[in-house]
Chain A
């Protein structure tokens, strides 16, 4: 098979490539896509790429980078995960969420795992995200982590590993939904060659989980999405989710708490609110308990949750499980709370509070990735192999001063996927954020997730707030498995429809055959 100059060659010694097992040799599941792309030249690719961008702009899909609204670049080559790979991944994610749920319940309850020395108490009590106000607030359906984003990477040997746990306010699912919509509109023909799990079930699942978490005895709970407002970078997602779930999008000033009951201010008077899917961080949520200068929060909200008249999702205080230092203990938490071996490994990590680890890392700083324990959005991360000497020297001093504030990880070469850059398809590093919903009874993992691409060559930090891009993520439905569960709309092969009808001489591409899109 010939690969034209459209694809820039991969170097398997550098990283595991998702598409090519060796230069010019596509992996079986990507064969069809590579065949199609072979026939495109740079202009064709550019045209498709621009088309995708336009679809996004028209729908107003942007995010705010440095105060400016930008389109979030979607790359046209999807990232594919086989059914078997997905089975392993989703089981690992479910296990992880269950362990973190048990951990949070314990830490805000009896603290058994602390008494038993599984996790140092000081780690918890000194964490700025440990929310003492959350003690005594137990969610009705026992789900604290209604929505989670467990970030996954694939290492040089092709194994999936957990990079980071995000259990506070993980964002990005709106891109998953919009990416799929844009791909089916602009590149629909690709779908006819694959059976891809749809992603449009997410809002319905989320709504169901939120309703299930309502205070006991409420027959028809009112659910709202609480947003900080139009200036928030993820505002677009708040609007989309509220719309797709068919619930009201509210700001802090729309809600008022009176004697521990939460109400929404409407033109027809105050209406009770029972579940709040909040996209506001703990510190800004309630000026009575936390920052009194917060104008986006709702005074008295925490006490209302405590009085069980309202459910806050995700629960207060989840941030103590987001701590990157805590991340290094999660395999032990899985063993302790679930009595199981972890299905997904961490990236090898080192706690710099431990003298031996600190010494090893300081000696070989250029080999490690150093992350602040309480960072987000990729800020503050230093990638040893890519940092200059000055940065490393400064970092050594910082680490000596505050070792507990950092962890170090072996620099993993994240897997790569061909991405459209400079009129070519060149390998770029990716990670994956799958989204999981916990309704108290089961943890459902959205088949797909957000594959984030680091657009600069060789860059390893893949994050939307650092100028990255994304890819549509396809989880293949396995034909050999049991029939797809009710409610899941699997794409059927469009073989019978693949003859393009010609209308007035123009050829129309066959779109996805069966499944309706559900929403608008």
Chain B
């Protein structure tokens, strides 16, 4: 567990890509795999390597995510992207001041955070479930307590099971099958929080999942997703672990849902493709 004032220096190695049945003649791609510079994390170094080699270009998108684009025009049978970063994370003051639940419904605030209150493709939930939510989790005046209660309820109803869903799975589908991965638990939580009028957003990044690992020991980590909710300020919470966000979390991008921040997306012209999967290795070096 992290203590106030502590920090961590993490080295991340994230490999992903696609392999084609046959070859791809050309492809156009966007990678969102570069950690953000934020008050709670300092990016010391970040490098993206693409194979086959391609000229890279960078921009900041609507959600301020660092996007690296590249296109390939020679025939190739696989595309591999390696993101390496060294990030120093700082833990935040746990005593976050917060506005009351009631003030969330002031018109001005509702207007300002309209995008994070509206349902999206992956964060839509049926009214039946939302009604159930209100029964089981009557909103309290303290937003943090309400959020905790929602997450407890979600973790009670949906179990983390690797490979149980698709990248396109919606909150409704996940709820029905009662299983999901971190992306899904995040979508479900966001759907529920939004229905209560709590602006929420999707955070993608990394988690060094072994707090007991020693310095220099490489841990197979995760491409991870969690929630940030608004309570006067944006606060992070991890529905998969039921914990807060600490120095073992590294933030890459924030959006309304997964669709706004896919780590690697692209189009190509060629035989059927499938994902190379994702390998994330994190080493705490300080």
A381 at the B interface (CB under 8 A): no
In the complex, chain A residues 289-340 whose Cβ is within 8 Å of any chain B Cβ: 292, 299-300, 303, 306-307
What is the CB-to-nearest-CB distance from B167 to chain A, in angstroms, rounded to a whole number? 14
Measured between C-beta atoms, what is the minimum distance from B31 to chain A in Å?
12
Asked if B62 and A122 sit within 8 Å, CB to CB, the answer is: no
**Bound state CA distance, A257 and B26, in angstroms?**
11
C-alpha spacing A135/B30, complex, angstroms: 16
Q: Report if B162 contacts A (CB, 8 A).
A: no
A390 interface hit (Cβ, 8 Å): no
| A120 close to B111 (CB less than 8 A) | yes
B93 within 8 A of A: no
Q: A136-B59, A288-B28 are in contact. Are A125 and B114 (CB under 8 A)?
A: yes
B62–A125 CB distance below 8 A: no
Mask: chain B, 68-112; 1 = CB below 8 Å from A; 0 = not: 010101000000000000000000000000000000000010111
- Taking the closest CB of chain B, its distance from the CB of A312, in whole angstroms, is 16
Contact present for B112 and A121 (CB under 8 Å): yes
A125 B267 Cβ-Cβ under 8 A: no
Give Cα A40 to B189, complex, Å.
76
Are B73 and A258 in contact (CB-based, < 8 A)?
A: yes
Q: Out of B59, B111, B112, B118, name the residue touching A306 (CB < 8 Å).
A: B59
Contacts of A125 in B (CB 8 A): 114-115, 118
Contact A122 B61 (CB under 8 A): no
Q: Are A126 and B118 in contact (CB under 8 A)?
A: yes
Q: Is A299 in contact with B61, judged by CB distance below 8 angstroms?
A: no
Query: Does A51 touch B at the CB level, under 8 Å?
Result: no
Contacts of A258 in B (CB 8 A): 71, 73
- Tell me whether A259 and B71 are in contact in the complex, defined as CB-CB below 8 angstroms, given that A287-B267, A288-B28 are known contacts: yes
Provide the bound-state CA to CA distance between A121 and B110, in Å. Answer: 9
Contacts of A300 in B (CB 8 A): 28, 69, 71
Q: Out of B30, B55, B108, which one reaches A288, CB within 8 Å?
A: B30
Judge whether A518 is part of the interface by a CB distance below 8 angstroms: no
What's the tally of chain A residues with a CB closer than 8 Å to chain B? 24
In the assembled complex, how far is the CB of residue B56 from the closest CB belonging to chain A, in whole angstroms? 9
Question: In angstroms, how far is the closest chain A Cβ from the Cβ of B20?
Answer: 16
B52 at the interface (CB under 8 A from A): no
Instruction: State the CA gap A292–B29 with chains docked (Å).
Output: 12
Q: Give the shortest distance, in Å, between B230 (CB) and chain A (any CB).
A: 14
B57 CB-CB contact with A under 8 Å? yes
Q: For chain A residues 117-140, which have a beta carbon within 8 Å of chain B?
A: 117, 120-122, 125-126, 132-133, 135-136
Q: For the complex formed, measure the closest distance between the CB of A55 and the CB atoms of chain B, giving whole angstroms.
A: 45
Q: Say yes or no for B266: interface residue by CB 8 A criterion.
A: yes
A115 to B113 alpha-carbon distance, docked (Å): 11
The reply to whether the CB of A260 lies closer than 8 angstroms to some CB of chain B is: yes
The docked-state distance in angstroms from the alpha carbon of A257 to that of B110 is 41
Cβ contacts under 8 Å, A306 to chain B? 59
Contacts of A292 in B (CB 8 A): 267
Q: Taking the nearest CB of chain A, how far is it from the CB of B270, in angstroms?
A: 13
| A259 and B61 within 8 A (CB) | no
In the bound complex, residues from chain A placing their C-beta under 8 Å from that of B110 are 122
Interface centre among B30, B69, B112 (most CB of A within 10 A): B69
**For chain A residues 212-266, which have a beta carbon within 8 Å of chain B?**
257-260
Q: Which residues of B contact A117 (CB under 8 A)?
A: 108, 111
**Closest A residue by C-beta to B113:** A121
Residue of B nearest to A301 (CB): B28
Interface pair A136/B60, CB less than 8 Å apart: yes
Specify which of A133, A259, A287 is in contact with B55 (CB 8 Å cutoff): A259
Q: Is the CB of B114 within 8 A of A122?
A: yes
Please, how many angstroms separate the alpha-carbon atoms of A292 and B112 in the complex?
A: 31
Contact assessment for B115 and A299 in the assembled complex, using a CB-CB cutoff below 8 Å: no
Are the C-beta atoms of A135 and B57 separated by less than 8 Å? Answer: no
- Within the complex, what minimum Cβ distance (angstroms) separates A236 from chain B? 31
The 8 Å CB contact of A299, one of B60, B114, B118, B267, is B267
Q: Give the residue of B57, B62, B73, B115 whose beta carbon is less than 8 angstroms from that of A260.
A: B57
CA distance A114 to B115 in the complex (A): 13
Instruction: Tell me the complex Cα distance, A259–B57, Å.
Output: 8
Q: Which residues of the partner chain B approach A257 to less than 8 Å between Cβ atoms?
A: 28, 71
Instruction: Give bound CA distance, A306 to B57, whole Å.
Output: 11
Do A307 and B57 touch across chains, with their CB atoms under 8 A apart? yes
Residues of A near B114 (CB, < 8 A) are 120-122, 125-126
Instruction: Give min CB distance, B107 to chain A, whole Å.
Output: 9
Distance (whole angstroms) from the CB of A407 to the closest CB of chain B: 19
In whole angstroms, how far apart are the Cα atoms of A337 and B63 in the complex?
A: 26
In-complex Cβ contact of B28 among A114, A135, A299 (8 A): A299
CA distance A126 to B113 in the complex (A): 12
Q: What is the chain A residue whose CB lies nearest that of B108?
A: A117
CB within 8 Å of A: which residues of B? 28-30, 55, 57, 59-63, 69, 71, 73, 108, 110-112, 114-115, 118, 266-267
What would 16 more interface pairs be, CB under 8 Å, given A117-B111, A126-B118, A133-B61?
A: A121-B111, A122-B114, A125-B115, A125-B118, A258-B73, A259-B57, A260-B69, A287-B267, A288-B28, A292-B267, A299-B267, A303-B57, A303-B59, A306-B59, A307-B57, A307-B59
Q: Which residues of A does B touch, CB under 8 Å?
A: 114-115, 117, 120-122, 125-126, 132-133, 135-136, 257-260, 287-288, 292, 299-300, 303, 306-307
